Structure 1
Amino acid sequence: MGINCSTLLPCCVDSEVKSSVLEVPNAENEDRIEANDGPAFCEFTLNQLNNATSGFAVENIVSEHGEKAPNVVYKGKLDNQMRIVVKRFNRNAWPDARQFLEEARSVGLLRNQRLANLLGCCCEDDERLLVAEYMPNETLAKHLFHWETQPMKWAMRLRVVLHLAEALEYCTSQGRALYHDLNAYRVLFDEDGNPRLSTFGLMKNSRDGKSYSTNLAFTPPEYLRTGRVTPESVIYSFGTLLLDLLSGKHIPPSHALDLIRDRNLQMLTDSCLEGQFSDDDGTELVRLASRCLQYEPRERPNTKSIVAALTPLQKETEVPSQLLMGIQHSAATVASLSPLGEACSRKDLTAIHEVLEHLGYKDDDGVANELSFQMWTNQIQDTLNSKKTGDAAFQQKDFRLAIESYTQFIDIGTMVSPTVHARRSLCYLMSDMPQEALNDAMQAQVISPVWHIASYLQSVALAGLGMENEAQSALVEGTTLEAKRNTPRK
């Protein structure tokens, strides 16, 4: 029995969507996913994902995501403001559409707080796309190898390996023990700074390339012999990640094992970690890494024993990941807001009204309005009259009349104006109609994609709908767009 996708994922309300949702098959899974009761897996249309990624725009490409060309990962935003990433496969990657759908649906059954969960897929013509949760705080590779403000603390490194081991143990318990090319790019950080394992690596390998990177020094030895991924191969890759976190560098396992045999642990340990851990803790992590990197697959530990070994090593367990990582939460990133941004963060509708009234129609400059002569003679006067009446009502704070007049302007359709949609959005907010306000703010963004005011108004409307996380994201987006707008071009 399927679940109606539209009740769980608002993006799928569209009649174009093809509902195909799978339920979790047993009660044991229900206990496991309780901490991450996200939307059910569903199939998207290509049109939906095209809209979400602004036509798969180059500026939406996520460069660090562990994917090899020609596969590309894009960030995007669904109609319900949920942020997503979309992996677009090479057109020759999955020639069998049924195989792709079955594999995506199988991975889509998984729901766990240690995973960047797979939300859906798209299979139209020769297009093959996966949709997953958006993780805003980049990859482990970025924080470990290319850090800018501070190196990752020892306590956070231990948390990363435990969460990663728990993710692999959960996947193993659900019959998905194989993970392709496990590396520091596959570990992502959510808005709270918690590490998550990308679900993209759980898809069985197709024609899009090898299961491991071309760097043979980091490839499990049995894979070099057989070309097959096994659960033990995944443990070997986990061992290379342990080395990464211990050293802060990407050290080839053979070189690391030589250092371990020579008891030269100082050369293996990140100098930035000096004084942060005891010799016993360091020795225990090195011992675990060497076990994972054994040449014979049968001599490597399983995920359950790895979790058991890492759990007692955890430090500062009461400290949030966000603080350990030195990541500013989205609420903190808007400390220096413009007057409009601050008004929107406070949901101060009166202050927003003052700003919009003062701004007038300055931001409508450059919006294309192609009018034929017949349109001009027959409809332009009605259009201008409706707008004029709406503007007068807006100024006098007669929001009911403003809504009626602006609606007439929009319905006539002779001209488009992001400002009219923004003004009607605020009128709806004043009238306690947040859904209608959100629709208008989104339409303003469609007309003018980089207009910060559209994002700001979306933030207020989303807050009115009780979607606080999405509201905060929209506020940050508005701040970013406004900052870019005010930065002089060189």
Structure 2
Amino acid sequence: MEIRFGYYEPQLLLLLIFTCFFTFSSAIDTIKANESLGNSEALISNGNRFKLSFFSPPNSSRRYLGIMYNLPVMTVVWVANRNKPLNDSSATFQTSSDGNLVILDGRKEIVWSTNLSSSVGNSSAVLLDTGNLVLQDNSKGAYVWESFQHASDSFLPTMRLFVDVNRNEKNVLTSWTSPDDPAPGRFAMTIMPDIPESYILKDGNIPYWRSGPWNGQRFIRLPGMRSLYNDGTTVGSDSPGTAYYIFTVPNSSVLLYYVLKPSGIVEEREWSYENKAWNVSSGRNECDIYGKCGSFGGCDARESPICTCFEGFLPKAEDEWDAGNWTSGCTRETPLKCEQNNSLGKEDEFLKMEGVGLPDHYILFPVDKDCVGSCLSDCSCIAYADVRGIGCMHWSHNLTDVVKFASGGEDLYIRLAYSQLHKKHDRRAVIATTVIMGSILIAVCTYFVRKKLSNYRARKNKKGLTSSQREERELEELPIVRFEMLSNATEKFDPAKKLGEGGFGPVYKGKLENGQEIAVKRLARSSNQGVEEFMNEVVVISKLQHRNLVRLIGCCVEHEEKMLVYEYLPNGSLDAFLFGSHKREFLNWQTRKLIVEGICRGLLYLHRDSRLKIIHRDLKASNILLDEELNPKISDFGMARIFGGKADQANTTRVVGTFGYMSPEYAHRGIFSEKSDVYSFGILLLEIVSGKKNSSFCDEDQQFLTAYAWKLWNEGKITSLMDPAIDDGAVEDDIVRYANVGLLCVQEIAADRPNTSTVLSMLSCEIVELPRPNQPAFLGMQMPQSTEPSSKSSSKCSVNDVTISILGGR
């Protein structure tokens, strides 16, 4: 039952407040020797911040004992019996006769224990307000065991991540196997005992991500590390072979922690008291994956392709490099002089790379060491960096895992042969001389032709760049594919190869000479609306890299043609599966959930995680493509808009998109924001749940899908919305949750809709209790009478599903 305090008399409100206060004040935080904690009971920390209780993860009936934040959203930060789940609800948590903390199952057998080597005669368990569960020796007043020294997947303030090589002890973060299974997963993050210390994330035994060393203020590969909490961060060592990392939050009202997800992403989560949800940020991109570009290759998430060889180096395997597999790395073009045993020629020099995340496997020298001189005199030294707070760093092996940052970072000096380094300098000198002489000649000539050119220049200044010049400038950053190659790949654009057609023109399937299958999007010469959308798509998608966004391979601008080349996705678009009866059997509920989550993650990347904030503006089932494993990829960015700076809303007089998926504020007033895409996602979510198309749905009352879902919700029959093709009664709870989220997304007022990050948390059950939605916007655009089918059986409430881009915002 939902309680709205504003609807109750003041006396009742006071009674409720008194009841809540009495409940909190009477909560216990301690289990003594003769006490136990049952399945439905909980320990509450003294400040009401944390609780300890038995719980079941989402979509699981197994029981675990865990510590979680005492919030309306279930947020588990530590699990006792990660490897030994309980299958019944009769377990207890208590202190054993030898003083250990134990979990007993229904048969009174020990499932989990603190396993102290020596018994404690008089002990009790206390849940502290830091989230630390401690076993206290009451006779000495000392802690003999702490949950903080046996971390799960969460890193809390005042918790100590540590490693002690000498004693073979460590406290590391280990991901869950999946959101439904707390068992230790693939990823583990630990502090490294190097001097200075750093921490590393591993996938099994393979490095997956690293922070770089600590410079006294931050980890150097985290240039954007939040300074707000730097004063409370401590990284250090108690003795050789040891290292530890602790952070605190100065403001006690801030709830903030870090969690290692099953996917290997480390998320920072801060509680929003206003939204009653966790604000999530990760700041991760493809360049964070260890060794993405191999040795002597630099990774820049802002560029496409993201990997380039250092100056003076070439790809080891050209074919692999061109195909987007960069792990083989690069090799030196010209050998170093010191490697040739040749006394002739000039000495090697160093090339400066600015603003980078430094490579792995460094050697640290004393601070007062002549960094450049000591490297130059040592032939095995191939690079150096002099980092404030750390000192002189040398590298003698392959330079691996170098990342280029937009701001911050360090300067890396790479050893190159003199001839290699000055080749470009000499060429620049020649060019500079030529330019100077040419400038003088042009200045003389200009004097004589000035009057003739003045009018011409005035006209050119008014017009600026021609559209062709503007387009060519935008296309420069993309790999260029020859027209002949695309013609051969599509068998001269054979109609049999056509995959579909939109307002921009047709899309063809093709196969390159290397066997790679592609999709070629060809702008029709007769198209009046496609040129701007074509160029917009080039600008937007060429800068994006995400597993749930379709990948742009290159473009072609020959023979007055404009074509974009994409990866080919064999299963086509989602609407063919969702609304085509012969393919619906492939979409069981689990597959639909994965599709929904993938779309949402792609949107989250566009809205929050990419370096550009992008609003898609045309999200619909036909713009979701499916790969061979039915993983979704968002496509068609011709209508997308980029937000600059801190802008989160814009207004346009040119409304684009598709009827039935447009939010009301956008369709009527031209206002678009992240919440516009959330509205479209809500429509798409309801379509995936129901298997019914919003643009053509009509029930006996001639309602649109949103109105129909709202009616079922109010009647308590929302499970009736489920697509009969799912045919699985066990998923009814999921149906209710997904329909609830869909209705929250299509609420009429944009401010009422959740943001994309919150939507993802709702779908993954990280937010357990969902708010009740307000009435949605029943936004449906009737087809003009002249464009409706002539068939007598055509629906009276059909909606035009054609993408439009010519409406004026009112």
Task: Please report the TM-score for the alignment, with normalisation by the length of structure 2.
Answer: 0.32
Bigger relative contact order, structure 1 or 2 (CA pairs below 8 A, ≥6 apart): 1
- Residue 25 to residue 190, structure 1, CA distance change in 2 (3 Å): farther
- Residue 118 to residue 111, structure 1, CA distance change in 2 (3 Å): same
Q: Does 1:292 align with 2:745?
A: yes
Q: Does 1:54 align with 2:367?
A: no
SS in 2 for 1:87: strand
Q: How does 1:395-410 map to 2 (within 5 A)?
A: none
Q: Does 1:196 align with 2:633?
A: yes
SS in 2 for 1:120: strand
Counterpart CA distance in 2 for 1:204 and 1:48 is 31
Counterpart of 2:620? 183
Counterpart CA distance in 1 for 2:706 and 2:660 is 7
Q: How does 1:306-321 map to 2 (within 5 A)?
A: 306-312=759-765
Cα offset for 1:75? 1.0
Counterpart CA distance in 1 for 2:710 and 2:561 is 44
- Residue 226 to residue 279, structure 1, CA distance change in 2 (3 Å): same
Partners of 1:144 and 1:151 within 8 A in 2: no
Counterpart of 2:595? 160
Q: Does 1:255 align with 2:689?
A: no
- Cα deviation code 1:150-183 (max 9, x no counterpart): 2521111111100110111112221243113211
- Residue 181 to residue 54, structure 1, CA distance change in 2 (3 Å): same
Q: How does 1:301-340 map to 2 (within 5 A)?
A: 301-312=754-765
* Structure 1 stretches lacking a partner, 5+ long: 12-22, 29-39, 314-490
- Cα deviation code 1:286-338 (max 9, x no counterpart): 1100110011112211111122122249xxxxxxxxxxxxxxxxxxxxxxxxx
Partners of 2:619 and 2:661 within 8 A in 1: no
Counterpart CA distance in 2 for 1:281 and 1:58 is 43
Partners of 2:589 and 2:731 within 8 A in 1: no
Sequence identity percentage: 30
Counterpart CA distance in 1 for 2:403 and 2:711 is 46
Partners of 2:618 and 2:639 within 8 A in 1: no
Counterpart CA distance in 1 for 2:593 and 2:586 is 14
Partners of 1:46 and 1:122 within 8 A in 2: yes
Cα offset for 1:210? 6.3
- Residue 242 of structure 1 is aligned with which of 685, 689, 703? 685
- Residue 163 to residue 286, structure 1, CA distance change in 2 (3 Å): same
Partners of 2:614 and 2:641 within 8 A in 1: no
After superposing the two structures, state which structure 1 stretch, 181-190 or 67-76, moved more: 67-76
Cα offset for 1:145? 1.4
Partners of 2:573 and 2:626 within 8 A in 1: yes
Counterpart CA distance in 2 for 1:68 and 1:199 is 10
- Residue 674 of structure 2 is aligned with which of 231, 254, 257? 231
- Residue 606 of structure 2 is aligned with which of 171, 175, 181? 171
Partners of 1:43 and 1:121 within 8 A in 2: yes
Partners of 1:44 and 1:122 within 8 A in 2: yes
Counterpart of 2:567? 133
Amino acid across the alignment from 1:131: V
Amino acid across the alignment from 2:604: E
- Residue 77 to residue 242, structure 1, CA distance change in 2 (3 Å): same
Q: Aligned residue pairs: how many? A: 281
Amino acid across the alignment from 1:163: G
Counterpart of 2:430? none
Cα offset for 1:88? 1.5
Counterpart CA distance in 2 for 1:104 and 1:125 is 19
Counterpart CA distance in 1 for 2:507 and 2:707 is 32
Partners of 1:107 and 1:202 within 8 A in 2: no
Q: Does 1:211 align with 2:662?
A: no
RMSD (Å) for aligned C-alpha atoms: 3.4
Counterpart CA distance in 1 for 2:709 and 2:404 is 43
Greater per-residue strand proportion: 2
- Residue 148 of structure 1 is aligned with which of 582, 585, 592? 582
- Cα deviation code 1:90-114 (max 9, x no counterpart): 4344657xx9657514411222222
- Cα deviation code 1:188-242 (max 9, x no counterpart): 221233222225456559xxx96322xx344321221134543211111100111
Counterpart of 2:322? 9
Amino acid across the alignment from 2:753: R
**Greater CA radius of gyration, 1 or 2?**
2
Counterpart CA distance in 2 for 1:76 and 1:210 is 33
Q: Does 1:275 align with 2:715?
A: no
- Residue 95 to residue 249, structure 1, CA distance change in 2 (3 Å): closer
Counterpart CA distance in 2 for 1:279 and 1:266 is 6
Counterpart CA distance in 2 for 1:217 and 1:261 is 22
Counterpart CA distance in 1 for 2:708 and 2:403 is 44
Partners of 2:687 and 2:693 within 8 A in 1: yes
Cα offset for 1:281? 2.0
Greater per-residue helix proportion: 1
Counterpart CA distance in 2 for 1:247 and 1:122 is 40
- Residue 24 to residue 177, structure 1, CA distance change in 2 (3 Å): farther
Counterpart CA distance in 2 for 1:43 and 1:25 is 24
